Amino acid sequence: MPEPKQLDIKQLYDGFRDPATVRQLARTIAHEAQQLLQPLNIMEVCGGHTHTLMKFGLKELLPENIHFIHGPGCPVCVMPKERIDHAITLAAQPDTILVTLGDMIRVPGSAGTLAQSRANGSDVRPLYDPLDALTIARQNPTKTVVFFAIGFETSTPMTAVLLQQAEAQGIDNLLFHINHVLVPPAVDAVMADPRVRVNAFVAPSHVSVIQGADIYQPLVDKYATPVVVAGFEPVDMMEAVLRLVRQKNAGAAHVDIQYSRAVNREGNLTAQKLVADCFTVRDTFRWRGLGPIARSALQLKPHYQHRDAEIHFRAILPEHELDDHKACQCGAILRGLAQPADCRVFARGCTPERPLGSCMVSSEGACNAYYRYQSPQRAAG
Amino acid sequence: MNSHTIELGHGGGGVQMNRLIQEVFFAAFGNELLQREEDAAILPLPSGAQSTMAFTTDSFTVTPLIFNGGDIGKLAIAGTVNDLAMMGAKPQYLSCSFIIEEGLPLATLKAVAQSMAKELAISGAHIVCGDTKVVPRGCADQLFINTTGIGLVQKPGLSASNVADGDAIIVSRDVGCHGATILMNREGLELGSALASDCATLWPVVEALIAADLDIHALRDATRGGLAAVVNEWAQASAVAIELNEAAIPVCDEVRGLCELYGMEPFQLANEGTFILALPAAQAEQALTIMRQFSPSTNAAIIGRASHSEQQAGTVVLQTPWGSQRYLEVPPGELLPRIC
């Protein structure tokens, strides 16, 4: 019997970083962009794309009439302080272990970060894989383990799997604090601001793998803007820009899938069903920098209430809304009204090591990407 | 926001740790030798002495104790011996302290000691004094080791502040293997990979470079904070601009793949047997030829150069394969994976 074929991670990016291809795409974009009637203001919705632009130095390769406006698609950046305070309060409970993903532990709430509360004795554990929460709960039967769940449509199915596994395995000491948010209502809220000048979209890669490209059709219908769903590699990003230029030049506006190796129109139906089985849409959710947005986040369905940390700990969770530091411009940056360098605390009072605002914390945040990868040429100029 | 307690990020080898060292330790102990911030201190000896001494110390904590490519014992010897070698000193005598958690299997301790003996043989250094403490269960994580070493300086003048205009920057091998291996072992990632730590004693290759009488300006092993931390430190200490060619920096597929999955930079991951070298570009090929004869540095590569620049002094710029540029930053503190 032949050996089963193994997929190397390398195969997922090799070829999509080919220097000759990137250079050729840059030349073609520069040539065709000369015909644009007005500047192309592209919103890359997802923080991963902001990261690609900066990490690979792609902005420098593009002509003057193509601008990027960084969208609200960084799950860490959009969490308001009161939700961070929830996490810190939960972590401080006796016999409680708070588990969460990645750089969430560095985001400042009203009185510090989860990393600081860990240093002060709270049991906070960053996870690499949400399913590790099952092991932690099993190994600590006398403690309550709270999974502080964050992320857009991409990470919601993993939380759903975790929930269903906990149910199936009868692991009763695992609770969920749900902060899953949705891309389309957030983009819609940004576009509703008349000051926003976005006239094209690079749509998220992984969100689209789950939800399908059709979720962006309302954007096209409402605002007549071209949308290209792009992958995260340099060639993906450059090709997406070229496709946007071509739609503009042709006077067209439709949803186009550049990331066709992973995205189709309808998405991953199994994952969508899983999410629908576990979650329902909240009436409203307050976003950091954007304020309350109707039907923009999820919560557990009533039959999973017994696992809902917001219900279980209702008596102790702080309720009041907390605004950002006055000097912080995260709100304007998330709405595309300011660039990171426009903020007067950027790289001075606010750095990745001591962030004032959440856009500086996450590797998907616009400020963080600018701080880390800023182009020396632009910085000098 | 100021932190009032020590966080894990304070030990990450990045900006956060540098600030802690400045604000607490330099404030308390500051002296000229300490504040040179080299891998090892060069001790002033009474006049008439034939050679100067290098002196260094390092503590080792790692989970798991035994990992692909090494163990805490090998690490404890190679780490201190390498710090001496990076100052051009032949490692001579080491002290060794063990802090052992109650309940550690004796077989594990024996295996670690044997691994240390094997690693010592590579440089010819000896452990000549030591200390053993056992602490109650829960007061330490299995086993902590401290080693302190002294060596005789064979090549004076190596320093982070001696990198000069026109120097080539060379890396001894592909970067990030130790950090990626520990991440994989610790998180139990089942990626079915042959990835192993680069943990190795570097004295033999350094000795050969010294013997060739090359005009080496700086040597440093890229431990915590990785390649990014070393080149940034050099750029600042020597007030030069360092330009690296991204395509020339060797990174193996396994490390790159893991970094893609977790949103990390291979250049910021720790190494335990990888060093960076700066010397005049005209001698770079000769250095490479020597380095490639030794097992820890068979794929040594020239990755960039240092230059005098008013505007860019103190910075490290990465040239991308498609002709754009970006800064290569020092990692901030604790490395955490991205979310989606």
- Domains along the sequence of chain B with CATH: 31-153 (3.30.1330.10), 167-327 (3.90.650.10)
Residues of B in Cβ contact (< 8 Å) with A106:
9, 334, 336
Mean pLDDT score across all residues of chain A: 91
Q: What is the mean pLDDT of residues B29-37?
A: 90
Task: Determine, for residues A375 and B325 on separate chains, whether the beta-carbon distance falls below 8 Å.
Answer: yes
Can you tell me the distance from the alpha carbon of A243 to that of A234, in angstroms, rounded to the nearest whole number?
14
Mean pLDDT of A301-319: 96
What does the pLDDT look like over A312-357, one tens digit per residue? Answer: 999 999 988 888 788 888 888 878 788 898 999 998 888 887 888 8
Judging contacts by C-beta atoms under 8 Å, the chain A residues touching residue B15 are 351, 353
Residue range B245-269: average pLDDT?
A: 90
Query: For chain B, what is the radius of gyration of the CA atoms?
Result: 20
Cβ count within 10 A of residue A265: 12
Contacts of B263 in chain A (CB under 8 A): 51, 363
Q: Cα(B233)–Cα(B239) distance, rounded to whole angstroms?
A: 10
Residues 168-187 of B with CB under 8 A from A: 187
Task: Measure the CA–CA gap between B273 and A182, rounded to whole angstroms.
Answer: 45
Question: B62 is written with which tokens?
Answer: 């790692």
Name the residue among A84, A93, A94 with its Cα closest to residue A114. Answer: A84
Predicted confidence band of residue A235 (pLDDT cuts 50, 70, 90): very high
Q: What chain B residue is nearest to A157 in terms of C-alpha separation?
A: B340
Contact B271, A20 (CB under 8 A): no
Residue A232 contacts residue A205 (beta carbons within 8 Å): yes
pLDDT score, position A241: 98
Q: What are the strands, taking DSSP E only, across chain B?
A: 41-43, 53-60, 66-67, 70-71, 89-101, 126-135, 143-153, 167-171, 218-221, 241-245, 275-280, 301-307, 316-319, 325-327
The pLDDT value recorded for residue A359 is 86
Residue A223 DSSP one-character state: H
pTM to 2 decimal places: 0.84
Q: Do B339 and A128 touch (CB under 8 A)?
A: no
Which residues in A lie closer than 8 A to residue B14 (C-beta atoms)?
353
Evaluate if residue B200 carries a pLDDT over 70: yes
Which residue of chain A comes nearest to B18, CA vs CA?
A353
**A-chain residues within 8 Å CB-CB of B253?**
8-10
Give the number of A-B residue pairs with CB atoms closer than 8 Å.
Answer: 138
Q: In whole angstroms, what is the distance from residue A130 CA to residue A128 CA?
A: 7
Q: Is the pLDDT of residue A158 over 60?
A: yes
Indicate yes or no: CB of A12 within 8 angstroms of CB of B323: no
Type of residue numbered A59: K
- What is the CB neighbour count within 10 angstroms for residue A169? 12
The pLDDT of residue B192:
58
Report the residue of chain A nearest B312, measured CA to CA.
A376
Q: How far is A306 from chain B (nearest CA, A)?
A: 26
Residues 6+ apart with CB under 8 A from A234: A16, A17, A22, A52, A56, A58, B322
Which residues on chain B are in Cβ contact (under 8 Å) with A61?
322-324
**In the structure, what pLDDT confidence band is assigned to residue B50 with cuts at 50, 70 and 90?**
confident
pLDDT in tens, B127-161: 999 999 999 999 999 999 999 999 999 999 999 99
Q: What is the pLDDT of residue A10?
A: 72
Q: What number of CA atoms fall less than 13 Å from residue A302's CA on the CB side? A: 0
Q: Measured between CB atoms, does B326 come within 8 Å of chain A? A: yes
**Which of A127-141, A242-256, B45-59, B298-312 is least confident?**
B45-59
Mutation test of the interface with chain B: which of A78, A103, A233, A370, choosing the one with the most B Cβ atoms within 10 A? A103
The pLDDT tens digits of the residues spanning A164-181 come to 999 999 999 999 999 999
Average pLDDT over residues B216-236: 95
What's the pLDDT tens digit per position in A101-116? Answer: 877 888 888 888 999 9
ipTM over 0.85: no
What φ, ψ does residue A301 adopt, rounded to 5°? -70, 155
Reply yes or no on whether the pLDDT at A380 is more than 70.
Answer: no
At residue B336, the pLDDT reads 64
Start-to-end C-alpha separation, chain A: 62
Judge whether residue B217 has pLDDT over 80.
yes
The per-residue pLDDT for A378 is 43
pLDDT for the residue numbered A375: 57
B54: pLDDT strictly greater than 90:
yes
Spell out the residues 6+ positions from residue A121 whose beta carbon is closer than 8 angstroms to its own.
none
Residue bearing the bigger pLDDT, B100 or B264: B100
Determine which of B249, B326, B334 to mutate to test the interface with A (most A C-beta atoms within 10 Å).
B326
Find the range with the poorest average confidence among A8-22, A60-74, B260-274: A8-22
Percent of chain B's residues with pLDDT above 70: 94
**Distance (Å, whole) CA B296 – CA B274:** 8
Mean pLDDT score across all residues of chain B: 91
> Rounded mean pLDDT of B13-20?
81
Tokens standing for residue A47: 């923080």
Q: Does domain A81-181+297-312 have CATH number 3.40.50.11740?
A: yes
CA angle in degrees (0–180, nearest 5) for A239-A244-A250: 125
CA triple B196-B198-B204, angle to 5 deg: 145
The segment with the largest mean pLDDT, out of A13-17, A194-198, B5-9, B200-204, is B200-204
- Tokens 């009161």: give the residue: A82
Over range B282-294, report the average pLDDT: 98
**Whether the Cβ atoms of residue A95 and residue A144 lie closer than 8 Å to each other:** yes
Residues B103-117 have a mean pLDDT of: 97
Query: Does position A377 have pLDDT exceeding 60, yes or no?
Result: no
Burial of B258 (C-beta count, 10 Å sphere; 0-12/13-18/19+): buried
Q: Band of the pLDDT at B278, cuts 50, 70, 90?
A: very high
Burial of residue A246 (CB within 10 Å: 0-12, 13-18, 19+) is middle
CA max distance for chain B:
63
What residues in B contact A102, CB-CB < 8 Å? 336-339
- Identify whether the C-beta of residue B83 lies closer than 8 Å to the C-beta of residue B230: no
Overall average pLDDT of the B160-176 stretch? 97
Radius of gyration of chain A from its Cα atoms, rounded to whole angstroms: 21
Among the listed ranges A146-160, A209-223, B35-49, which one has the minimum average pLDDT value? B35-49
Partners of B93 in the β-ladder: B126, B150
What is the reported pLDDT for A381? 32
Tell me, what's the pLDDT at A2? 53
Confidence of residue B15 (pLDDT cuts 50, 70, 90): confident
Report whether A93 contacts A148 (CB < 8 A). Answer: no
Cβ atoms of A73 and A183 closer than 8 Å: yes
**Rounded-to-integer distance, Cα B106 and Cα B244, Å:** 47
Q: H-helix or E-strand containing A42? A: strand A40-46
> In chain A, which segments carry CATH 3.40.50.11740?
81-181+297-312
Name the more confident of A125 and B48. Answer: A125
- So what's the pLDDT on residue A379? 44
In the structure encoding, which two tokens stand for residue A243, read together? 């496709």
B64 upstream amide cis, omega within 30 of 0: yes
Closest Cα to residue B198, out of B228, B164, B226? B226
Predicted confidence (pLDDT) at residue A97 exceeds the cutoff of 60: yes
Q: Write the single-letter amino acid at B266.
A: P
Residues in chain A with CB shorter than 8 Å from the CB of B321 are 17, 19, 22
Q: Residue B1's closest chain A neighbor by CA?
A: A354
The arrangement of strands across the sheet holding B53-60 comes to B41-43, B53-60, B143-153, B89-101, B126-135
Environment class of residue B32 by beta-carbon count within 10 Å: exposed (0-12), middle (13-18) or buried (19+)? exposed
Hey, are the CB atoms on A374 and B261 less than 8 Å from each other? no
Question: What are the C-alpha distances in Å from A37 to residues A196, A225, A250, B100, B118?
Answer: 19, 14, 11, 72, 71
